[in-house]
Structure formats: C-alpha cells, structure tokens
Structure 1
Amino acid sequence: MKAVQLVRPTELVLTDLPVPEIQSHEVLLRVTAAGVCHTDVSIRHETSDLYPSGLVLGHEIAGRIERVGEGVRDWQPGEDVIVYPCWSCGTCRECAAGRQNACRQTGGRLQPPPTPGVTVAGGMAEYVAVPASALVRADGIDPAVAAILPDAALVPYHSIRAVEEHLRPGSTAVVIGLGGLGHLAIQMLRALSAARVVALDVNEEALSAVHDHVDLALKSNADGVADRIVAFTEGYGADVVLDFVGIDATLRLSGSVIARYGAIRVPGLGCGVLPFETAQSSTILPWGASLVRPYSGTYDDLRQIVDLARQRRINPVIQRYPFEQAIEALDDLEAGKVRGRAVLIPS
C-alpha cells in the first residue's frame, strides 16, 4: 500500500508498505480520506527522536471497514466510519467516566493516550489497523468532511462544551486563529450558543471569509486590538477566549481581554508562555479567570459532532488533494496556502 512515512527524523516520504495485519480487537480500514494538520508539519520538522522512526502519519481518518478481527462483534465490513484519536484503555476511572482523553493508563501524567499518526501508525495510507473501540459511524457524510471531524472539529467542540456555562445571551466569545480549527469554532459557537463572536487572525483573507458570520472581525496583530475588544464588551471583557495559536503574543492578548471569572482555553500549540502572577495588582489575568490546555475531546463529543455534521450545522472548509500529492499538501499548509483543512483523497 502507499503510505506517508517518517523514515527518520525530518525525512518524510511517500512510500510502499505492507498492508497491516489486524489483531483480534481491531478492524482493517480502507482509508477514504485523511486530514492534514499542523501537527503533521511539526512531526516532519522534529529533529529529535520524539516521534518513532517508521511512523505512518495521519490522525484524522475516515474509512470503510475492510475486515474485522475475530473478537469484534459490533462492526461489519462495508461500514463507513471515522476514528476517535485517543486510543484509551477503556477501563480506568477516567475512561469509565467518559473522559477517554484523560486516560490514566498512558505511562505518565504528561503522556496522552496512543494517537494514530503521532505515536502509532496513522491514516495517511491506503489501509490502517484500528481498535474497534475507536470507531464512530459516519455513514451519509462526505468522507472528506468526516475525516477532519476527529481533530479539526473535535478540539474546538470539546473546548466550547467545557465553557458552555459562560456562553449565555449577551456574552462574548473571542476566537484567535481562523485556520482548520478556528473556522469551525466560529460555526460551532453560532450553532450552539447565543454569544456574540469576535474573530481574530493576522490574515485578511481568513477574516474576510468569516466576516458575515461574526459580530466583530479584527487583525490580531493590529495596534489597539485589545482595547477595541474590551470596548466592544462595554469595558467588562470577553467571557470566553479560544486561542488556536498559542504563541506568546496571543496568550498575552487573551489575558488582556478576558473578563473576571472568564475562561481562556488554549488548544493552540505555538509553544507560547504566559506568566502566572499572584500579586494584588496583577495585570496579566483578572480575578477568577481560568487558563486551561484542553486535549482533544471525548468519544461522546465526537459522536455529537457527527450529528452536527449530518444536520449540516457545521460546514467545514475543505481543500482536497489526491493522496499522491500528500507532500505537496504539507508544503502548502506550512506555507499558509491552505484555507480551512487540507484533506488527502486516495484514488
């Protein structure tokens, strides 16, 4: 089969590999679409051995079941599915509570569950072996749309669900970064809440794309942008900030516009730092404000997202590439040429 493989650190190739064998609890998927993410760009450029050599990339996977393991009872060949990316144990107290993304059987407090395309073989291939417990039915959904739901949609949905008590009528939510995740966050906020929405990005084209769907669209690096947001909220500040960039500048901006007891959620992996200051006169965060690094989402979150997609309450912006152009898709994403989410379509 064709696959996108990290041969060794910084060397990513489109190559031929054997079709994977499946274990008793797994299914073999014929991949129908695979999303391309900035995480894949980061993996490609990592010079250390953080990611295993020989890794097949791809953590956003849609496929059709080709074969099932002898221990699989609830799935049949021919079903269209997507793959939940947190391959958790299913038995620890966090998994039992429905928080599979916080599974305790991962080897340490800083390690998330195994993730296809990051720690185990992923879906940028013609076939992939997947635990049956990670499948979600996706019949009736365009595979290119289905493929991006397990990350580009799951991450913002999980963050929004976590702060829904703040998203009352009259509240304000700020979205920083309008790429593959941010543009879906805008749609979800509109579909799921009555909050006013402020969109921020450095790119004029990205702002223009959402201009008619938000209450205020601003360049995030413009002079006085924080003052404009605070003024928009009558001086109180934003109730929620979703930072899909996560660099120093966006973290500082988040802190400078959040309201007292507001919620900042930072899915962005920009390696930024925001000091935590406990002085009486702190100007970094107001009293009561929370700052959280959310990870992925729950299995139930993903099932709910599939329902939203079936109802067409979210409509992801997709840029399709033939599977043979996988490296070109990564190049385009890194160069800022992709609007929405790039998706590989096997022939």
Structure 2
Amino acid sequence: MRALRLLEWKSEPRLVEVPDPEPGPGQVVIRIGGAGACHSDLHLMHEFGDGVVPWAPPFTLGHENAGWVHALGAGVGHLEVGQPVAVYGPWGCGVCARCLMGLETYCEDPASAPVAGGGGGLGLDGGMAEYMLVPSSRLLLALPDGLDPLHAAPLTDAALTPYHAIRRSWPKLTPGSHAVVIGVGGLGHMAVQILRATTAARIVAVDARPEALTLATEYGADAVVQAGAAAAEEIRAATGGRGADVVLDLVGSDETLALGAVVARQMGDLTVVGIAGGTLPVSFFSVPYEVSIQTTYWGSRPELAEVLDLGARGLLVPRVTTVGLEGAVDAYRSLAEGKVDGRIVVVPGS
C-alpha cells in the first residue's frame, strides 16, 4: 500500500510503498476514511531532532484518524468488519491510573506503552495510508449515527484538544462570562463551536487573517478582533472592560501569551494549547490576581466520545478541505504558509 512517511527528522515526508499491516492478538486494522493534517506535523518535519521526543522516524504521518474496521486480531469481539470508527490518538500503557481514567495523554508508565509519549503518526505508523494498524481495540470508538469518517477524523484532535481545555474551565464559563480564542485555525475554529455548543459565554475570536475572523463569525463568535497593537484594547472593550474569564491560546507564541495575560480577568484561566514555543514570565504583579495559567495536551477517551456525539448532532462541524495522498505534501506547504481555512483531511484513494 502507499503511505506518506517521515523518513528522517527535518525533512519533507515522502509517499512510498509499504506492506499492508496485519493485526495480531487484540489488534485492529482499519481502512482509512480520513486523516487530518495537523500543524504539529510541521514541527515534526522541520524542528524536531533526536532527543526532543523519545521516538524517531521512520513512521507514517497522521495522528488524526477515522475509517472502517478492515481486519480483526484474535480476541477482539466487540467490533465488526466494516464498522465505522474513530481512532483515539494518544497511546499509553492502558493500565496505569491515568490510562484507566482514559487519560492516555498523561500515561504514567510510558515505557510500557506501544511508543513512549506518542501514538499512531507520532512514532508509530499513522493514518496517511490506505490502512492503519491500531495496537489495541480500546483505542477505537464506534462512530455514532450521522457521523462519517471524513468528518470524524478532525474531531479526534482538532476538536478533542480544545474540548479538553474548555471542559476544564466550564465552571467559569457561566452566563455573563467571556471567552477569548486566540488563533482561529484548525483547532480554533472548533474551539469557537465548542464554546457555543457547551457554554453560555460570549466568545471573542482573535486572528491576524481576515478570512479566519470571517470563519469565526460564521461559527458563532460574538466579536472578532484583528491581531495587532490594538488587540488588547479591543478585547477589553468587547468584554465590557473586565477582561476574559477564559483565554484559550491556540498559538502559543511570545506575542499571544503576552496578549492572553493582559486581557485575562482576575481569577480567570489562561490555557496554552498552541506549541509555537513562546514563554510567559510570571511574577506576583505580571498577571492579574488569581489567574490560573496551564498547558493542556490533547484529551481523554471519554471526552472523545462526547465530541463525537456533538459532531453527530451537528453541533461541531469541521471546515474540511480534502486531498488525496498525492496532494498531502502540497497540503502541508499550504498549512505552513497559513493558507488553510479549517482542516485539510487526507483521503487515501480519492
């Protein structure tokens, strides 16, 4: 079969022929119906090197996947061939306290995981291929009626990641509150929808691109702000001068972190999701009183089930552009150049 593989650090991926995977005991092979192209893949291609993460190329890209069960290994009894499924992307040991809670992102025994700190498309073969081997059936969730693999794929990361960040701040997103979304890209356009579907907060979206702000408005933002020197003042005005109860930084640069700290309301949350590598100096007087600053990584299996339910009900609708495997490299170039609205989904065989 054909697969888009990263063969070495700091290189472009290549489309190559590899053997079709075969499932062992407890394993499942799925036929890929969609694999999302994530901005974090660009970090893998151009910035990572030996020692940055505890795994290395070669591997097939694509950590945001959905498709249909193709083959079952011995002992897998709750799935059927042809059944549509989504892949839970982070793969932990499956038995530590965090994994038993479904938080395999925070596995406490990564040495016993299929790949330490990673998953399919992150150290092991992912979904940018015709077929994908999933090492345990627990990592597959059946798609609810009304949701197809093409639109489910981006929900497994582009929606799950902001959903986890927003869910932990639900107590602060009450009527009369304000949430600021910085960066309306693949994750940000989902964050706006998640806030609209699950909270009563007024939503302010921030981005440098006019087309991204238009997208945010289409998906339910109450106000949009052009990134730049006047952004903090405009956000303050949009929040009635009080600041944001919750700031979601989907970029994570020095500039966006500084903006988030300036516009956060006292006792609010500033959650850093983006991995642009920025830093935020924190001292007693550098942020408003009792502002909680945290990072999050992906989300849990139970949360993915909730996200898929929202998708099936039409409350989360990713903006999708599809390409075949042959167009995946060019798609990543467009992503790097900031020319993508929503999410590019690779559909093998299309």
Provide the C-alpha distance between the structure 1 equivalents of 2:267 and 2:214, rounded to a whole number of angstroms: 31
Residues 92 and 241 (structure 1), Cα distance of their counterparts in 2 relative to 1, 3 Å cut: same
Say whether 1:36 aligns with 2:37: yes
Counterpart of 1:298 in structure 2: which amino acid? S
Say whether 1:267 aligns with 2:267: no
Say whether 1:303 aligns with 2:305: yes
Displacement after TM superposition at 1:24 (Å): 0.6
Provide the C-alpha distance between the structure 2 equivalents of 1:176 and 1:321, rounded to a whole number of angstroms: 27
Provide the C-alpha distance between the structure 1 equivalents of 2:48 and 2:246, rounded to a whole number of angstroms: 36
Equivalent position of 1:289 in the other structure: 291
Equivalent position of 2:81 in the other structure: 77
Equivalent position of 1:48 in the other structure: 49
Equivalent position of 2:231 in the other structure: 225
Provide the C-alpha distance between the structure 1 equivalents of 2:215 and 2:288, rounded to a whole number of angstroms: 32
SS in 2 for 1:152: coil
Provide the C-alpha distance between the structure 2 equivalents of 1:11 and 1:195, rounded to a whole number of angstroms: 41
Provide the C-alpha distance between the structure 2 equivalents of 1:298 and 1:200, rounded to a whole number of angstroms: 27
1:141-165 residue CA offsets vs partner (Å, 9 max, x unmatched): 2322111111001001111101000
Residues 175 and 47 (structure 1), Cα distance of their counterparts in 2 relative to 1, 3 Å cut: closer
SS in 1 for 2:197: helix
1:42-101 residue CA offsets vs partner (Å, 9 max, x unmatched): 211136234522111100111111111102121121111010011122221122334332
Provide the C-alpha distance between the structure 1 equivalents of 2:156 and 2:141, rounded to a whole number of angstroms: 10
CA RMSD of aligned residues (A): 1.6
Displacement after TM superposition at 1:319 (Å): 0.7
Provide the C-alpha distance between the structure 1 equivalents of 2:12 and 2:206, rounded to a whole number of angstroms: 34
Provide the C-alpha distance between the structure 1 equivalents of 2:101 and 2:347, rounded to a whole number of angstroms: 36
Contact 2:175–2:201 (CA under 8 A) maintained in structure 1: yes
Residues 142 and 97 (structure 1), Cα distance of their counterparts in 2 relative to 1, 3 Å cut: closer
Contact 1:101–1:112 (CA under 8 A) maintained in structure 2: no
Could you tell me which runs of 5 or more consecutive residues in structure 2 were left unpaired when the two chains were aligned. Answer: none
Displacement after TM superposition at 1:30 (Å): 1.0
| Pairing 1:20-169 to 2, within 5 Å after superposition | 20-46=21-47, 48-49=49-50, 50=52, 52-107=56-111, 113-130=117-134, 131-139=136-144, 140-169=146-175
Equivalent position of 1:210 in the other structure: 216
Residues 313 and 112 (structure 1), Cα distance of their counterparts in 2 relative to 1, 3 Å cut: farther
SS in 2 for 1:330: helix
Contact 2:57–2:123 (CA under 8 A) maintained in structure 1: no
Scaled by the length of structure 2, the TM-score of the pair is 0.93
Contact 1:58–1:122 (CA under 8 A) maintained in structure 2: yes
Scaled by the length of structure 1, the TM-score of the pair is 0.94
Displacement after TM superposition at 1:112 (Å): 6.7
SS in 1 for 2:274: coil
Contact 1:248–1:274 (CA under 8 A) maintained in structure 2: yes
Residues 317 and 15 (structure 1), Cα distance of their counterparts in 2 relative to 1, 3 Å cut: same
Contact 1:318–1:341 (CA under 8 A) maintained in structure 2: yes
Contact 1:238–1:262 (CA under 8 A) maintained in structure 2: yes
**Which consecutive aligned stretches of 4+ in structure 1 deviate over 3 angstroms post-superposition?**
none
The total of aligned residue pairs comes to 340
Q: Percent identity?
A: 40
Counterpart of 1:13 in structure 2: which amino acid? R
Provide the C-alpha distance between the structure 2 equivalents of 1:309 and 1:241, rounded to a whole number of angstroms: 24
Provide the C-alpha distance between the structure 1 equivalents of 2:265 and 2:224, rounded to a whole number of angstroms: 19
Could you tell me which runs of 5 or more consecutive residues in structure 1 were left unpaired when the two chains were aligned. Answer: none
